Structure 1
């Protein structure tokens, strides 16, 4: 486990697990959303593919994302391990709602200096809406990739509940 991709739906805890894994393993961690959103008004990084290509050419890394479409194949091609947080909605939704509420109330600065806003809660791009609407699509995409013979060399770990993930992490 030297090139680790942590995947799952929005709110599953990908970043939290990736950070904990980085701390335990001393592997460098890269937050995909911070790479993707690099400016005010949720500006998108025009050099994302190049930036991710440089990071994933390194011998060791942890990245927390299924991957934005422009870099998804690159991430999956270069990873040696995929950790899939495949949690049910009853776990995901309270997490993402609490996180977004906290971020909005505290006006926490996020990627590229952006913040979640009360108005943003009405957008289909808001993390809560995204988590709800994309869970099935994300699960199907990850399932397809995990079973794809092209990615057969990947070590794949699938956790269906946070207790499983915590037990695995504690065993490292």
Structure 2
């Protein structure tokens, strides 16, 4: 079973660990953690959904090229893992993979709250799209996706990350307080 493989905190990361991939189900807090780490570590942050989605939720044709461009950089923090380009190109280049493996109940509270807020306020996402209530009917809408795929994604992460964990590259964070302790180095 993958555990917290190293107790080291974000501020004490060795200089050679400057390619960080943050993974977890929709609503776990990947973007929030990524932005926070980017500010602390002064490393460029990339939100994969912003690279993937074009206008009206269409896939951007330049997505694979953007991922390859990021992979070639010496320093990056990337939030997401749901795209094969990220799995096959960025994961092998990552020095550290943070897995936000939170309970379904917590994830659902977060993703539901975020999606309701965005829909009610008409907030524009970082990718330029707006979540509307009619979008909730889509199978890939974050609330539906998180509910339907929480257990499947956990199993996927356990299997996919096993080799990276054996190399000491994975930190599995099971609660927000555990993530907070890791960030501040306790």
Provide TM-score, normalisation by structure 1. 0.93
Unaligned segments of structure 2, at least 5 residues: 1-16
Aligned counterparts, 1:117-156, within 5 A: 117-148=132-163, 152-153=166-167, 155-156=169-170
Match of 1:29 among 45, 50, 65: 45
Distance 1:75 1:90, change over 3 A: same
Return the alpha-carbon distance in structure 1 between the equivalents of residues 108 and 28 of structure 2.
9
The one of the two structures with greater contact order (alpha-carbon pairs below 8 A, sep at least 6) is: 2
* SS, match of residue 166 in structure 1: helix
Q: Is the 1:104–1:116 Cα contact (8 Å) retained in structure 2?
A: yes
Q: Is the 1:29–1:63 Cα contact (8 Å) retained in structure 2?
A: yes
Task: State the Cα distance separating 1:75 from its structure 2 match.
Answer: 1.2
* SS, match of residue 11 in structure 1: coil
Q: Does 1:87 align with 2:83?
A: no
Aligned counterparts, 1:8-87, within 5 A: 8-38=24-54, 40-87=55-102
- Give RMSD over aligned pairs: 1.5
Q: Does 1:2 align with 2:18?
A: yes
Provide TM-score, normalisation by structure 2. 0.86
Task: State the Cα distance separating 1:152 from its structure 2 match.
Answer: 4.2
Q: Which runs of 4+ in 1 moved over 3 A?
A: 151-154
